[in-house]
Structure 1
Amino acid sequence: MKTILIALPFLFTTILSAQSKASIAGKLIDKEYNNEPLAFGNVLIKGTTIGTTSDMDGTYVFDNLNEGQYTLIYSYVGYETKELEVAVAAGKVVSINVDMVADAAALDEVLITTTTRKESEIALLLTQRKAIEIKQNIGIEELSRKGVSDVAAAVTKTTGVSKQVGSNTIYVRGLGDRYNSTSINGLPVTSNDPEKKNIDLDIFSTDIVEFISIDKVYSSNISGDFAGGNVDITSINYKGKGMFEFSLGSTIGTNAVQKFNNFQLQEGPKKSGFSSYGVPNDPLNGYNFENSLAPVKEKPLGGKIGLKAGKSFEIGAEGSLNLFATAGFDNGFGYREGINQSVSAQGAKLKSFHQERFSYHTNTTGMFNANYRINAKHKLAYNFLMVNSSNQMRDTYEGFIRDIAEDDNGLIQRSTYIQNTLFIHQLLGNHQLSDQFDFDWAASYNKVEGDMPDRTQNTLKYVDEANGYVFAQNTITDNHRYYQNLIEDELAANLSVSYKLNEDANGNSKGKVILGYNGRLKKRDFEAIQFNFRISGPQLNTTVDPDNLDLFLNQQNFENGLFNIESFAGLTPQTYDGEQTIHAGFASLHYKFTDRLSAITGIRFEKVEQTVSWRTQLDASGKSNTFNRNEFLPSIILKYELDDTQNLRLGASKTYTLPQFKERALFIYEDVTEVKVGNPDLYPSQNYNLDLKWEMFPKNSELLSVTAFGKYILDPINEITLASSTNDISFINTGDTGYVYGAEIEFRKDIFNFNEAQSNKLSAGFNASYMQTHQDLDSEKVREETNYNTNLTNDTSSFTGASDFLLNADLTYFKDLGNSANMMATLAYSYTSESLYALGVETKGNLVDKGIGSLDFILKTDINKNFAIDLTVFNMLNPAIERFQENATENITVLSYKRGAFFKLGLRYQL
């Protein structure tokens, strides 16, 4: 009791003191990004050492202030610094919300190369935490840390995303190209490959990227042709007083360098990746082909050169203009050798080769951005992007060819050059019409041209009696030259109006209603022509040099009648044309029901019309096929904030999957080991999607999340082998239903901070996915709905390309060396388990790709504020890439090779 009496005066004094104190609280609002909260802004009381930083909600607080007059200084790198006079009274709380606006004169060039707010890992985690949508973001800071140089490699570093071995196809939660979509700044991008729906993401250098978003959960503002995910690339929006960067690099592949003095490529394609040759004049009446069949030798040393520049200007009292441009070129060489074969259900060889591939690729990128801020309420942006990519492959296949070279004495030589050129023009606007109304619009024009000029293939066999190789000819197509051209144009438009709903007690809007329109008009023109060499009977016994076939295939021998040149329908190419029109209207409601519960509900209507016309060797008369669909697509996303660091999210939606032009055109595309043909009877699938996600953010830089997901698909589409003498592959609605379910886990953790400034720390990241896919297979359904006959080996299967288990892990050490010098080292590992490559038919087993792991090491060192050196080693473990056929008696390896390791050294200089 005595103790209590002694303590009462002190308690009473404390209460009186607290009542005489004052507080200042408020929020920093980012006017540059749709009035979102500005995290990590600095607030200082002038003339004192008292300061604080805004939290992830943009809020700041000063407690225990004495009554009086204060000057608060608000600052953030790249934004105008503001000073406000504040008078506070005892026992009162003064609330001040401050609008922060970008200041071009105050921006520093270091922003573009280190951690701008939008692209830093911490800022992107903040965006992920605050958003109602369920999405993942990966920014340029994280890409740099993991040594990623292209967008395809970038998205595979995120949870549940993988890349099919030996191709550029991206799989999201086990669903491949047809189920995914790609956009840049929210506008669609057309494909550069007639085989695919999506453009190859590896042609996009990360030099153009601010960050990448992967939407795995559908919402009504996204195209309804969606089931796996939408990859949206946000291009760099530079803000700074000026920067210029020059970079150089070199690349060496361990496999390619072993062939340093005998690295062979085809003649014709230029090292720059820009070539202009095509179908020769009158090739049926003379051997007028421009390029030699003899290989040329190159030194397999790759390189890279890049330029970046940016500057911001003040215009008037409120305006600013941000300009940014980048240009770059890189190339690289690859070499591989190993098994490539096809076998029957009994294991008998159909084709069995030792394959050797020499490859060379280039990528040229140019981008220009202009972002004009008229004032705080009106903004315009123009984006231009040009990408030219080329890929050259010289393949030799030695071994068994049924009916041609059954003594393992066959030889097929195939040289392929592909050049793709993409042009993108985008114009975007954002307008705040009033405190409640916002109007956003965007329009784009995309043009892509894909060329495959002068693909050559020759079939030979070794004859002991002749002590050399002679031409082999089972069909006239065994020796040919092939030309292919694709041109696709697409116009797209996005319009949306949003209206903010009533405010809560703190003056914050409780939500908004969005009404919008999306339109896409796409047109594709595709043509191909193949010139086949019919070699006269006696000449099939003439010995030839495989490395100098021009000694036989030339104008003189053509005039002498030693061979003829033939083509389908003379010089008239095979063609198919595609037109697709999609008009979509959508409405969504974003609403915060309570302080913790938020939701987005939406409905989307799409009117789809797709027409494909063709004139090919399968149908010389020329026909067309059209389907029309009206799709109603509801969606809902719920977010519940369990506490200040944890969220629980739920997403549900209905979507659909369109077949692509090439899949519906009655056109044959021939490769060495497979032939693909379109199916005019193909039709869209319907998809039902469900996601449940829990996430926790222990610190600004840390994340732990667990996601469960499921998808139910009606009339899934697959590639299958038809019951035909040539085992053609086509695209078929193979069954009534299929489903996918699985779980994902992701965490990012700072393991050690060796000092409080976090200038010497060790951090780790990990994400993994486990999934199961299942689909019913119905041969009778295929026969009833198409003109094709097939007998699927199994009644059920997993989805093609889907791996049960995916894993990415990285360990990063960062050290600030002082005087603008630092060092960062990252060890990154990824693993993809077995996946189904193709369905088995006619008692043949499925083709399955074996699981594979990859280990990379990245070292980045900033010597000072101007110079930096990077060293990267990719694919250090160099595992074998293998595919096997699941026959009843045993699994038979049908593909096996190693890519080798790649060493990259880079130097950067920045003014």
Structure 2
Amino acid sequence: MRQLLTTVLFFLLSGFICVHAQTGSIQGVVKDAKNGEELIGAIIKLQGTGLGAPSDAFGNYRIDNVKEGTYTVEVNSLSYTPKTIANITVTAGKTATVDVAMEQSTAQLAEVTITAKGNRETEQILFLDQKKAVIATQAIGAQELTRKGVSNAEGAVAKISGVSKRDGVKNVFVRGLGDRYNTTTLNGFAIPSEDPEFKNISLDFFTSDMIQSVNVNKVFTASMNGDVGGALININSKELVDDNALQIGISTGVNSQVIGSDFYLPDGMNELGYASASDGPRSRNGERYVNNYSFDTSLDPIQRKPLLNGGISFSGGSKFLDKHRFFVMGSMDNKYNYQEGVTRLITATNPENPFRDFDYQQSSRNASHMLAANLEFNFNPGQLHFNSLYLHTATAAAINFYGKETELFQVAEDYNSEGHIRRLQINDNTAFINQLIWNGNLSDRITYNVGAAVNNVIGQEPDRRIVMLPSIGDGRVQLGVGEGRAQRFNSKITETAVLPKANLQYSLSPDSEQLSYIEVGYDSRISFKDFSAPIYNLIWAGGQSTAPTFPLDDIRLDPVFNQENLANGDFLLEQFSDTYDVERMNHGAYVDLVHRFGNRLTLNAGLRADDIYTKINYSVNRGANVGSNTIDKFFLSPSFNTKYELNENNHIRTGVSRTYTLPQDKEISPFIYLGIDGNENGNPNLKVSTNYNFDLKWDHYLSPDEHLSVNAFYKHILDPIARVDQGNSAGLRTYENVSGHAVAAGIEVELRKSLMNLAEKHRINAGINASYIHTNVNLDPTFFVQNTSSTLEGAAPYILNADLTYNLVTEKNLNLTSALVLNYLSDKVHTIGTRGFNNLIEESITTLDFVTSLGVNDHLKFNLKARNLLNPAYKLTREGAGTDTDPQSVIIRSYKRGVLFDLGATYKF
């Protein structure tokens, strides 16, 4: 089937190449007629056609797919007089060169803002936006994502200065502050999380196929969500830029560690990548059975031949009725991964002798699906946008552990308390997002923006199967007897959120170029979340001596746990459920003032008021914890930002603000979650954190796409929240306000520089950003015996991102881009140790990727990615009691991810 699909696509592409060989191209440079400077963002169109393109940072433009004939070229650029050039002849297979010199004009080209759309996927346009902005902001667009081989929003944000990523943990840390301190939005609307473990939706939900750009705002204004301390991360979905577009893509690849592996997957995921497991036996009226073993998935994993990764994508759209636009896109991806490693747990009194010491093997499959559409209606004097997005991700993993566990395998004391644990797990998450936005002008000086979003998120973990089998020697194991030794766990979280918002902006100056206005706005988040976790214990009835035994390399559990043996009384089926629900009614209003004084200074002052109401009702841990918790608070969040232009190429920005951080839902619910690395439960007594934020940034613009920036920041956090060890044999971790205050301060440096540009054909560009982040929290000595102070959880003191890019463009339309991309993260605290435990440390890691793309003509492009070339070991260690030079740390977990190879092709029609 795969070979047939490849053959069909090859002939289709060959046919399209032949068809499009009958077209030519137009290219050139747009400059200022007076000073000769290249103009970025000029819009070049061919009259009478739907063809056009914007100029890049060097003033260059190129229009492809032009049929033979004679054309008139129309050029528009803000603050310049429109220009037309007639009688431009295009010949098939050749490129016509049309250079344009633009005359400055005092008249504003209002119509250009309606008919011309700047392409905010490009690095140059985003760079220009950042230069014009009053506050310091950073962005990464689709063009840069492609150049660096980034596959999703999580990888995109991790390329920004001051941002780090912990492997195996969803989402990112910004300036040393993790998930609870950050906020994620899509096109300006907040998005619920699909996972009860996290505040924010997983950023890897958003694949690069649907991303126009990702903005990271580390400096805050009144118009932003007040529940933020690290960054507000906004994902902008793709939209149609030209008058029409159509593109398809295919890809394949492999993880080096999958090759030759003994690969197994759990039953319960279909071929398309959707979970097919149910959440346990039920009667017709929905009542759960304990005398009917009608589970529809196997307790035994299924051996699979390691398969190649694969993906397909498409996007397309068109302008219609002369001024309206639609755009659709979709993708489907499938990836296989394999890893081997160790995982351990130790006591505070005897760290050299772990009470848990496992080797493990993990096979997994990751599937994702995306379908999106947006409509843009242009009316006079406004625009109506409708965005609809469907996202689905699923992961199936089969994990086998073998080794010592002195608590779980006490019955195997004669065999070093060794045993085997089988864990079969599927996570299936879906998001439906719909947004309606209306913006326009009420007068020459009053603009409005009104919108609403309705989001529905479903996160499922259907039929997680865990079975524990103590060793009986001679390569055999025996079914564990007792509660929790064989368990089928199900969970489902659903959240529906309605998010209306509106704002009015009044210009304080009749001059549209004078950036002075006052804005008032309102937004709210009304949401309802339900979490349920029906859990089944499979308890062998005859005692340990009669429990079945198995060869370690051939453990078959389905012949043991089935309806016949349940009816015979060989085992018991025990069922209970954990539940909680969350009601959230958050309302915010703000006033924001921006005023420009003279030609250099711009001030922004704002005040935001938030009325927060969150109520959690819970019945968890088999009814041991029943109750509710309410957050009912009112917050005022002031902000003050400045921008001072020393000259055209040197800008200084400052920012001061106060924000707050709410505990996550699961952090204030005592529900216990059983994780691979240990167990976690919440703390209903957590307080809200208050954040004081200070920023100072200098930007030096070297050229239209080169710049140097230096950014210093300081954060003072009252009642900081962190994950801590409870110091018990169950390995439980919880959340505490670990101190009265914490600080995070640092400096970020970023440089983008062109190293070579030979005859506009050979270009070498380099980019580097480096961060030093100092965090500190003084700890309560009552609980934190080993540590009187610590860095914040997840805060890497040193972060380095660097890339080196080579670009070759030939007269025959051959375009080659190759990039080396490096990332370094220093040691960081994973979990703060308490009650005699030292900190858990995630050790430093360096990754290196190679990405190359080859455009063989105007339509066909090939891509090759080789990621994680160094394949370093990821290590989680517990700090020892040794010296600074020899800490005698104990490895708690270690594994490698493998080298990932991907080959793809895209075709533009």
Q: If the length of structure 1 is used for normalisation, what is the TM-score?
A: 0.86
Match in the other structure for 2:17: none
Q: Among 290, 301, 305, which residue is 1:295 paired with?
A: 301
1:562 aligns with 2:565: no
For 1:334-373, what aligned pairs fall within 5 Å after superposition? 334-345=337-348, 346-347=350-351, 348-373=353-378
Are 2:499 and 2:525, in contact at CA under 8 Å, matched by a contact in 1? yes
1:671 aligns with 2:675: yes
Change (3 A) 1:500 1:621: same
Cα deviation for residue 753 of structure 1 reads 0.3
Cα deviation for residue 856 of structure 1 reads 0.3
Are 1:80 and 1:100, in contact at CA under 8 Å, matched by a contact in 2? no
The one-letter code matched in structure 2 to 1:119 is E
Alignment partners' CA distance in 1, 2:246 and 2:585: 42
Cα deviation for residue 184 of structure 1 reads 0.7
Alignment partners' CA distance in 1, 2:515 and 2:906: 47
When the two chains are superposed, the root-mean-square deviation of aligned CA atoms in Å is 2.7
DSSP 3-state at the match of 2:130: helix
Cα deviation for residue 508 of structure 1 reads 3.5
Alignment partners' CA distance in 2, 1:242 and 1:274: 33
Q: Among 475, 487, 498, which residue is 2:494 paired with?
A: 487
Q: Among 632, 635, 660, which residue is 1:631 paired with?
A: 635
Q: Among 319, 336, 342, which residue is 1:312 paired with?
A: 319
For 1:795-810, what aligned pairs fall within 5 Å after superposition? 795-810=788-803
DSSP 3-state at the match of 2:666: helix
Change (3 A) 1:422 1:540: farther
Higher alpha-carbon deviation: 895-904 or 346-355: 346-355
Cα deviation for residue 548 of structure 1 reads 1.3
Q: Deviations over 1:22-60 (max 9, x none)?
A: x9999x9xxxxxxxx99443799xxxxxxxx999999xx
Alignment partners' CA distance in 2, 1:626 and 1:149: 39
Alignment partners' CA distance in 2, 1:417 and 1:636: 47
For 1:227-246, what aligned pairs fall within 5 Å after superposition? 227-246=229-248
The one-letter code matched in structure 2 to 1:298 is R
Q: Deviations over 1:428-464 (max 9, x none)?
A: 0111111110011111000001111110001012212
Cα deviation for residue 874 of structure 1 reads 0.3
Cα deviation for residue 350 of structure 1 reads 1.7
Match in the other structure for 1:13: none
DSSP 3-state at the match of 1:126: helix
1:98 aligns with 2:109: yes
1:588 aligns with 2:592: yes
Change (3 A) 1:621 1:157: closer
Q: Deviations over 1:244-300 (max 9, x none)?
A: 2111110200001121xx310111211322234322225410222111112112233
1:894 aligns with 2:898: no
DSSP 3-state at the match of 1:284: coil
Cα deviation for residue 793 of structure 1 reads 2.9
Higher alpha-carbon deviation: 832-841 or 403-412: 403-412
The one-letter code matched in structure 1 to 2:668 is R
Alignment partners' CA distance in 1, 2:84 and 2:561: 82
Alignment partners' CA distance in 2, 1:876 and 1:794: 37
DSSP 3-state at the match of 1:207: helix
DSSP 3-state at the match of 1:567: strand
Match in the other structure for 1:525: 530
Cα deviation for residue 567 of structure 1 reads 2.2
1:446 aligns with 2:455: yes
The one-letter code matched in structure 2 to 1:277 is A
Are 2:524 and 2:588, in contact at CA under 8 Å, matched by a contact in 1? yes
The one-letter code matched in structure 2 to 1:289 is F
Match in the other structure for 2:257: 255
Change (3 A) 1:38 1:499: farther
Alignment partners' CA distance in 2, 1:872 and 1:623: 51
Q: Deviations over 1:842-879 (max 9, x none)?
A: 21111000000100001101111121110000000001
Match in the other structure for 2:664: 660
Alignment partners' CA distance in 1, 2:890 and 2:277: 42
The one-letter code matched in structure 2 to 1:389 is T
Cα deviation for residue 672 of structure 1 reads 4.4
The one-letter code matched in structure 2 to 1:745 is V
1:423 aligns with 2:432: yes
Q: Deviations over 1:537-587 (max 9, x none)?
A: 15554313553111212222222222111123xxxx211001111111100
Are 2:58 and 2:704, in contact at CA under 8 Å, matched by a contact in 1? no
Alignment partners' CA distance in 2, 1:268 and 1:349: 34
Are 1:521 and 1:582, in contact at CA under 8 Å, matched by a contact in 2? yes
1:468 aligns with 2:476: yes
Alignment partners' CA distance in 2, 1:887 and 1:567: 42
Match in the other structure for 1:31: none
Are 1:80 and 1:103, in contact at CA under 8 Å, matched by a contact in 2? no
The one-letter code matched in structure 1 to 2:572 is N
DSSP 3-state at the match of 2:458: strand
Change (3 A) 1:244 1:55: closer
Alignment partners' CA distance in 1, 2:845 and 2:462: 34
1:856 aligns with 2:849: yes
Higher alpha-carbon deviation: 722-731 or 366-375: 722-731
Q: Among 716, 723, 726, which residue is 2:720 paired with?
A: 716
DSSP 3-state at the match of 1:654: strand
Match in the other structure for 2:840: 847
Are 1:430 and 1:440, in contact at CA under 8 Å, matched by a contact in 2? yes
DSSP 3-state at the match of 1:144: helix
Match in the other structure for 1:690: 694
Match in the other structure for 1:280: 281
Are 1:80 and 1:101, in contact at CA under 8 Å, matched by a contact in 2? no
Match in the other structure for 2:208: 206
Change (3 A) 1:523 1:529: same
Alignment partners' CA distance in 2, 1:508 and 1:872: 44
Which is greater in Rg?
A: 1
Identity of aligned residues (%): 32
Match in the other structure for 2:267: 267
Q: If the length of structure 2 is used for normalisation, what is the TM-score?
A: 0.86
Are 1:247 and 1:307, in contact at CA under 8 Å, matched by a contact in 2? yes
Alignment partners' CA distance in 2, 1:584 and 1:125: 31
Are 2:479 and 2:547, in contact at CA under 8 Å, matched by a contact in 1? yes
Match in the other structure for 2:76: 75
Alignment partners' CA distance in 2, 1:43 and 1:462: 74
For 1:30-69, what aligned pairs fall within 5 Å after superposition? 39-41=40-42
1:829 aligns with 2:830: no
Match in the other structure for 2:761: 759
Cα deviation for residue 883 of structure 1 reads 1.1
Cα deviation for residue 408 of structure 1 reads 5.6
Cα deviation for residue 240 of structure 1 reads 2.5
Alignment partners' CA distance in 1, 2:136 and 2:544: 68
Match in the other structure for 1:323: 326
Task: List runs of 5+ in structure 2 lacking aligned partners.
Answer: 1-31, 46-53, 60-71, 86-102, 283-287, 883-887
Change (3 A) 1:792 1:371: farther
DSSP 3-state at the match of 1:551: coil
Change (3 A) 1:430 1:849: same
Match in the other structure for 1:907: 905
Cα deviation for residue 617 of structure 1 reads 2.7
Are 1:25 and 1:94, in contact at CA under 8 Å, matched by a contact in 2? no
Match in the other structure for 1:47: none
Alignment partners' CA distance in 2, 1:276 and 1:329: 18
Alignment partners' CA distance in 1, 2:764 and 2:76: 29
